[in-house]
Structure 1
Amino acid sequence: MNKYKLLLGLAPLAFVTPAVAEEAADAAQGASANGTAQVEVFSTGVAKGRDRLDSATSTSSLRGDEIQKIGARNVAEVMRNIPGVRVEASNGDVNNSFTIRGLPLASSGSKYLQLQEDGLPVLEYGDMFVGADTFLRPDFNLSAVEAIRGGSASTFASNSPGGLINFISKTGDVEGGSVQVSTGLDFDEKRLDFDYGGRINDTLRFHVGGFYRAGEGPRETGFTAYKGGQVKLNVTKEFATGYVRLSGKYLDDRTPSYLSVPMAVTGTNSDPKYREIPNFDVNSGSMLSPFVTDMVTLDGNNNLTRRDLRDGIHAIAKTIGLESQFDVAGWTITERFRYADQSAQMGQFQHGRVMPASALAAMFGGPGATLSYATGPNAGQVIADPASLNGNGLLALAVPRVMDINSLDNMTNDIRATRQWNIGAGVLTTTAGFYTSQQSLDADWLFTSAISDVRGDGKSALVNITRADGIPMTQNGAIAYTGGPGSATFRRKYDVDFRVNAPYGSLNYMVGKIAIGGSIRYDMGKAEGSLFGSDLGGGRVGLVSYDINNDGVISFPERNTAVIPLDRPAPVNFDYEYLSYSAGINYRVAEELAVFARYSRGGRGAADRVLFTPIVSPLSGELVDKRAGRDFVKQAEAGVKYRAGDLTLNLTGFWAKTNEINQQTVTLPDGSLSPVIIARGYKAIGAEFEGAIRRGPFSLTAGATYTDAEIESDSLNPAIEGNIPRHQPKLIFQATPQFENETYTVGANVVGTTGSYAQDNNALKMPGYTVVNAFFQVRPAERVQLSLNANNLFDVVGITEVAQGAIPASGPVSVRTINGRTITTSLRFDF
């Protein structure tokens, strides 16, 4: 009876950063010294942790010490080492984009792939305009990363039909700690990492750790672009029949946002030749500068304000929670709850059209218009020879933009009960659970327009345009106090709450060498709140005249000041429901060999991407078409798994079919960027390989994914049916060979991709690339380690995005690229 009272008492207390079930932590800690798990127990996205060769799923795991060894410093660099996962890592440390097994990446973020921290989602929806990786940092707290592709991911979590990536924290079951200091050798960054864990007494253990770093970072910005860190703590109390874990995290970290940069392209669409423009190194350059940082505008309440773009993406997360797991009357009851107080300010400098300086001057100032510097050391100086400006003669119509993310608070709770029953000659495992979450979105979009010169050395400046008659067309470089001259679009306020409730259950029967299982989940989602913005239509106020500099004169830019119509809200009031299911069979052919097959259908609910679109009625707040409330992913997979001694081989074939309603940003003929609605069907077929082998001091882990993807249907643009989705390569691959003995470790982490198309029209191609990340560790004394890591050792140019769908008639294209070579050295002490 006391057990029941304890369980009932814990359930309402359950607050954040829950750790995954104990068997997951045990599995992560139970790997052998050479990196090969003796029994590969996996627990993410399944009912109960079990040996992978007994589970009809495609899974992978990375140990925390291996992640540290290869020098992965952010979520994207970790995830690019997981087979099947495609990473577009070109925004910096955070707000990157991810997808899996050929599922479409029509917008940013990770629509079909959910990022979790200790078994619960960081954000309920992975493709909000703030990505989940914004609030997630790998550091010494990380025990392991588990990934499940397809399969039961769709039924053991909401909004995750493509898969789950779970970042699992250490919990103090291994005594000791570490402290490490790192510095960049060819770039400016200083970093301190630490962690410590152990037992307080026989039934109480803890773990604490975190990091702090500061510096300009891997690209030239001219200021301290990285600054901040995090601290995580958990305490576990063990009982005879279970445990209780209290956890917390405080994150306060500032990182830059690297958006698109200009690059020249010649040749043909099918065989383009990309090259850098003068004075702009795409591997180390950025449009950021201390001379383009001050943004004067109106805030979310239409009051005059100033924002500093040097703050970049400034994320703050405060989480606290409790997890409990107990055996009660034959059942294992697991309760996980997390509350995360999350907010951010996103300061970005996005260039739109890049043109010859004289042409841009004439566009806004007419014939005879002149140019002069508005900011920087040359402020007020006339640009006498625009054609030779910075060696490239270019100017950019830029969009300095701030998104005040006042709240992305997230509450999640997952309670489940699992029991095993002996039935006949086999064992039946049953699970029943209920998941609930609430995701808030309180944000203001504050965009302006400005004229900037084009250089990548951290010294770019804003530029003024003056008409031939002496009348200025800009004000301190601003061409309009809105996202686009003559338009009030993208001046928005969001105040919306999303709620999800989902009962779920599973059955798995294992008899002899055969295991047959199935799971089901029913998601019920609700969105309620208000939107404010002129681009909702309905006669809402948009542009006004406003004396921004308070000089008593209304300038041309001040005539184009966007305001948010706070007295004219548009409601949000829609809901959706969908059923997800998954069934599979696994046959353990021998101790070393298993084969499996699985079919699944999972859903993904509508979130912020449908807001400010015709999909949601601005009058009723309801979905115009109920089908837009959820998108489905259907998947089939079959594979073989082999594990013997120090050799592991997995090969899986997959098929996926997806329907999607979404927003996608495209480039218009005049070079400007614009969001459009898409309503498409996609399909993909392919195979993924994963393997590991060790022979004495030598080891190799490797993975590769081949995908043949296609836009199967498009009701709004049938001309692209049959095309390959943009950015989708045929092959992605990774490999990590290394040599390790007691004194030193040396190796390389190689990741790469073949070419793809820049846009869905399948005209302009993007080249593939291979990146080598080298590492060397030496241990001169016990508990002392010196490390050297070189990311992108050969400084290759890796293009992840091209905004244009074809080579333009004139001017460069807008591209996003991976970072160039960065070399870091570290000194670590273990104790």
Structure 2
Amino acid sequence: MKTQHTKSLITLAVCAAFSSSVIAQDNADVEQKNKEKFEQIVVTAAPGGATMQEASVSVSAFDESDIIKLAPRSTAEVFRALPGIRAESSGGGGNANITIRGIPLATGGSKFLQIHEDGLPVLEYGDINFGNADNFLRYDWSVANVEAIRGGSASTFASNSPGGVINMISNTGELGGGAIGTSFGVDYDEFRLDFRYGGEISDDLYYHIAGFARNGEGPRETGYNGDQGGQVKFNITKMLDNGHIRFYYKNLDDKVSTYLPSPVLVKGDGEYGAVPGYDASSQSLNSAYNTNISTFDAYGNAENRDVRDGIESKVSSFGVEVDLEVAENLYLLNKFRISDISGGFIAPFTDTFPEGPGDVSDFAASLCSSALDGDGNALNCDTTTVTLANGPDAGEVYTGEAFTNLQFDTRINDLGNMINDFSLRKEFDNGFDVTVGYYYSNQDIATSWSSWQTFIQTLDGSNSQLLTITNGDGVELVSNGLLSPSFLSWEWDLNYVTKAPYMNVGFELSDNILIDASVRYDTTEASGELISSCCGGNADYDINGNGVIEQIEDASATNSGFIYGGVINLNRAGASSQIVNYDASNTSYSVGGSYLLSDTQTFFARYSKGGRAIADRLLQISGTLNTDGSLTDTTSGYDTTKQLEVGFKYGTKDLMVNATLFDTVTEDTQAEVTSGLTFMREYEATGLEFEGRWTATDNIVVSGNLTWTDAEISKDVNNATLEGNTPRRQADWIWTITPEYVTDTWSVGASLQGSTEYYVQDNNDLKQDGYNLVNLFATYWVNDQFSVSLNVNNATDEFIITESEEGSAEVGSYIRARPLNGRTTVLSMKYMFD
């Protein structure tokens, strides 16, 4: 019964599965779509040739008509509707935290889950410091399908992805036609244009081009246009007698505001809300008055930075895919891509609350009492005054609330990579097939953490202002808001080469029993250097050109008291350096099988072990590297995940139900920037995933998923008191339920996305109550070509935090947390044409 891996069959299945659109559709269309999904060939991180119904893996797929119902405001919000996926999209258009099946989400990014674009990873490592994979990926109409493999064969068919793979698969133009559309933020400032077009150039040559452009403030108030840029993707496919060759090109140049932890009010046990004057779910601590800062790099060179850049993502990629039957039943598949990736990450992070709730007066007095003059004498602190340093009321006395802003500031110099995945697959007449392959990846990590500065500012969601603090003698303790000119300055210049031969053997023991076994051997060659220095240079430098040597520009200036050490005269020659020069290896394996009870029912089981190279975060963990860059006995350079899963699939034209029981054990070696914590842990998780779609009547369709997870920290090398606790941000239940009513001319529905309560830190004290987000959508088709849509994300305006820097807090106090966006509404118009 196993489907043969031929180009014609893959093209037929993929075209059918991706052909649905948001034009009017009746019940028969929906039933056909359900049927096609089960006949769709799995093309992501799985043994070749099996359909979704046959494959012994947990696999899900969304197309455009599914995604529009989620009312996503970012790529991560597309992912969060996949079964078993926990995608925290509280960071804005990027900087999301994504994980799967109870595997830990100890820091940012997606460590154990890889994000692919057309079958190759966007970045080899999804949790690079300030370089999350979703920062360099955008969902738009170029995407035909989002396919996700959870667990299983992801361990052996992809490197560094033992938890799973999410793959965004591009339209390739087989169907022809195009569309253009605009969308507007109804209750926030953003305009966006999307387009796509594709078709045949000749009988054996077709193409597709698509992209978007946007501009606006974004879903939260920043005081300026923080979201601006766009993307273009193009591919062209040449059909051959024995397969195809395809060329890809992508150019992404986009900026989005990112939202770091900021002040949130603890209203009750598990309940949170806005602090006076600032609502973190709809406002930000960004400000039109504080858009440019003057700083130094790790070499002591002066530079200016623009806070409006936010997450700046620049990607230029070129790729080639070759899929050929090179001899009878012998198939060659090669995917290649080279990417130039750069950009930056800059945003305010709430370091402390000087006096909150309350005014800033006590903070000013405390600062004065701890400060000394140039001769080491105490200052006159009988009185202190706090005034606004900028903005329309500059110079006026300020007695409100304030916060200290540790300005996260990273330049992404180079995250480029070159990746190639080559495989040969031989099918035999007796139902036996063998795949052998070789994977190569060269990933650069070159970033500059530029002398993070600390400012004191008004706690204000509408253009926060800098503060100046003076003592009774008029001495400026803080000038123009600058508390500290340097918290740190790190220069990263690393390279990771991954090489991985792999092999899969498949058997058809009978017409209804399929078994496969695979193995992968990854080696990582790491090299480079981390330069750690403070900043300031060795000479006075008038950075802003105003003719005055100010505090940050004074090479001899020092500060004392609570602040972070002032300016230290270290340049590159005097900085500390950690060399990286090691090899690490890991063997992964996966064994699974399917029992096809009938055309509509399948049982499957699989056991897998996969590895994840630790990459750049290893350098932040003491004792893992020797001075010569080699690994110590503390680490192997890899973390591993072991997974057992047993599942059942049922699919007909009007009902689909998948259920998978899973058990995982994960090692995690991590470093957290914001807290400075490092840890080496083991986690265990057991859970059950449900996914389904039901065509209830001629007009009513219900789809969704539900995941139960029981997870715990089973071992902690540094803090045994945490053993037995539930990992941070891990809920017992998460779900997405989408009911929809469809007619010939309009449709309406809701996407209900929710979670039971979870602890925000590993000490299991402070928690977020369970919640249910209501996302609404409606579409009216004026005719077969033109439609108007309205979607509302978080329609009931729930205030939900996904993470907190604090693990304990009293009711009425402030914590530093990241909430999901409040209510946002988008009106869209779309015109489709041949």
TM over 0.5: yes
Q: Which moved more, 1:21-30 or 1:592-601?
A: 21-30
| CA distance in 1: counterparts of 2:495 and 2:411, whole angstroms | 17
Match of 1:404 in 2: 411
Q: How does 1:664-679 map to 2 (within 5 A)?
A: 664=672, 673-679=674-680
For residue 26 of structure 1, what is the amino acid of its counterpart?
C
Q: Deviations over 1:590-635 (max 9, x none)?
A: 1211111110000000201111332443621122236340001000
Q: Deviations over 1:705-728 (max 9, x none)?
A: 000000001111001110001111
| CA distance in 1: counterparts of 2:174 and 2:637, whole angstroms | 44
For residue 164 of structure 2, what is the amino acid of its counterpart?
G
Change (3 A) 1:607 1:27: farther
SS in 2 for 1:78: helix
| CA distance in 2: counterparts of 1:103 and 1:797, whole angstroms | 26
Match of 1:11 in 2: none
Q: Return the offset for 1:365.
A: 2.2
Q: Return the offset for 1:645.
A: 2.0
SS in 1 for 2:259: coil
SS in 1 for 2:501: strand
For residue 654 of structure 1, what is the amino acid of its counterpart?
F
Match of 1:64 in 2: 64
| CA distance in 2: counterparts of 1:656 and 1:612, whole angstroms | 27
Match of 2:702 in 1: 700
Change (3 A) 1:250 1:564: farther
For residue 551 of structure 1, what is the amino acid of its counterpart?
V
Is 2:363 the counterpart of 1:360? Answer: yes
For residue 462 of structure 1, what is the amino acid of its counterpart?
L
| CA distance in 1: counterparts of 2:755 and 2:365, whole angstroms | 42
Match of 1:538 in 2: none
| CA distance in 1: counterparts of 2:213 and 2:368, whole angstroms | 47
Q: Which moved more, 1:65-74 or 1:48-57?
A: 65-74
Match of 1:441 in 2: 445
8 Å CA contact 1:525–1:576 kept in 2: the answer is yes
Q: Deviations over 1:679-713 (max 9, x none)?
A: 11110001010000113121111101000000001
Change (3 A) 1:91 1:635: same
For residue 78 of structure 2, what is the amino acid of its counterpart?
V
| CA distance in 1: counterparts of 2:549 and 2:745, whole angstroms | 72
Match of 2:493 in 1: 495
| CA distance in 2: counterparts of 1:235 and 1:557, whole angstroms | 60
| CA distance in 1: counterparts of 2:272 and 2:215, whole angstroms | 33
Q: Return the offset for 1:765.
A: 1.3
SS in 2 for 1:155: helix
Q: Return the offset for 1:450.
A: 0.6
Q: Return the offset for 1:354.
A: 1.1
Q: How does 1:275-354 map to 2 (within 5 A)?
A: 275-330=273-328, 331-354=330-353
Match of 1:691 in 2: 692
Match of 2:587 in 1: 579
For residue 496 of structure 1, what is the amino acid of its counterpart?
L
Is 2:548 the counterpart of 1:551? Answer: yes
Q: How does 1:522-671 map to 2 (within 5 A)?
A: 522-534=521-533, 546-547=540-541, 551-552=548-549, 554=554, 555-556=557-558, 560-561=566-567, 565-567=571-573, 568=575, 569-617=577-625, 619-625=627-633, 627-664=635-672
Q: Which moved more, 1:493-502 or 1:29-38?
A: 29-38
Q: How does 1:423-442 map to 2 (within 5 A)?
A: 423=430, 427-442=431-446
Match of 2:29 in 1: 33
SS in 1 for 2:154: helix
Q: Deviations over 1:102-145 (max 9, x none)?
A: 00011100000000000000000011121001111011111000
Is 2:471 the counterpart of 1:467? Answer: yes
| CA distance in 1: counterparts of 2:536 and 2:713, whole angstroms | 37
8 Å CA contact 1:532–1:564 kept in 2: the answer is no
8 Å CA contact 2:58–2:151 kept in 1: the answer is yes
For residue 783 of structure 1, what is the amino acid of its counterpart?
Q
SS in 1 for 2:366: helix
Q: Deviations over 1:290-345 (max 9, x none)?
A: 11222111124321111110111111000112111110112110110000100011
For residue 453 of structure 1, what is the amino acid of its counterpart?
T
Q: Return the offset for 1:810.
A: 8.2
Q: Return the offset for 1:217.
A: 1.1
Match of 1:106 in 2: 106
Once the two structures are aligned, what percentage of the paired residues are identical? 38
Q: Deviations over 1:361-402 (max 9, x none)?
A: 23322343221112211222222xx2xx2xxxx211111232
Change (3 A) 1:290 1:221: same
Q: Return the offset for 1:281.
A: 1.8
| CA distance in 1: counterparts of 2:775 and 2:281, whole angstroms | 15
Match of 1:800 in 2: 802
8 Å CA contact 2:760–2:803 kept in 1: the answer is yes
| CA distance in 1: counterparts of 2:227 and 2:93, whole angstroms | 10
Is 2:194 the counterpart of 1:186? Answer: no
Is 2:730 the counterpart of 1:723? Answer: no
Q: Which moved more, 1:694-703 or 1:258-267?
A: 258-267
SS in 2 for 1:301: coil
Q: Deviations over 1:446-480 (max 9, x none)?
A: 111110110112x1111112233322122321111
For residue 296 of structure 2, what is the amino acid of its counterpart?
L
SS in 2 for 1:146: strand
| CA distance in 2: counterparts of 1:141 and 1:57, whole angstroms | 27
8 Å CA contact 1:266–1:807 kept in 2: the answer is no
Q: Return the offset for 1:815.
A: 1.2
RMSD over aligned Cα, in angstroms?
2.0
8 Å CA contact 2:415–2:444 kept in 1: the answer is yes
SS in 2 for 1:66: helix
Match of 1:81 in 2: 81
TM-score between both structures, scaled by the size of structure 1: 0.91
8 Å CA contact 1:28–1:143 kept in 2: the answer is no
8 Å CA contact 2:752–2:773 kept in 1: the answer is yes
8 Å CA contact 1:473–1:556 kept in 2: the answer is no
| CA distance in 1: counterparts of 2:558 and 2:605, whole angstroms | 65
SS in 2 for 1:41: coil
Q: Return the offset for 1:442.
A: 1.1
Match of 1:369 in 2: 384
| CA distance in 2: counterparts of 1:93 and 1:636, whole angstroms | 34
8 Å CA contact 2:745–2:781 kept in 1: the answer is yes
Q: Return the offset for 1:49.
A: 3.5
8 Å CA contact 2:70–2:78 kept in 1: the answer is no
Change (3 A) 1:543 1:106: farther
| CA distance in 2: counterparts of 1:70 and 1:728, whole angstroms | 22
8 Å CA contact 1:532–1:565 kept in 2: the answer is no
Q: Count residues with an aligned counterpart.
A: 779
SS in 2 for 1:795: coil
| CA distance in 1: counterparts of 2:727 and 2:145, whole angstroms | 32
8 Å CA contact 1:544–1:562 kept in 2: the answer is no
Q: Return the offset for 1:659.
A: 1.2
SS in 2 for 1:65: helix
TM-score between both structures, scaled by the size of structure 2: 0.90
| CA distance in 2: counterparts of 1:262 and 1:456, whole angstroms | 10
Q: Return the offset for 1:69.
A: 4.4
Match of 1:738 in 2: 740
SS in 1 for 2:362: helix
Unpaired segments ≥5 residues, structure 2: 1-8, 21-27, 370-380
Is 2:474 the counterpart of 1:453? Answer: no
Q: Return the offset for 1:353.
A: 0.5
8 Å CA contact 2:624–2:634 kept in 1: the answer is no
| CA distance in 1: counterparts of 2:18 and 2:100, whole angstroms | 27
Change (3 A) 1:515 1:797: same
For residue 823 of structure 1, what is the amino acid of its counterpart?
T
| CA distance in 1: counterparts of 2:341 and 2:409, whole angstroms | 17
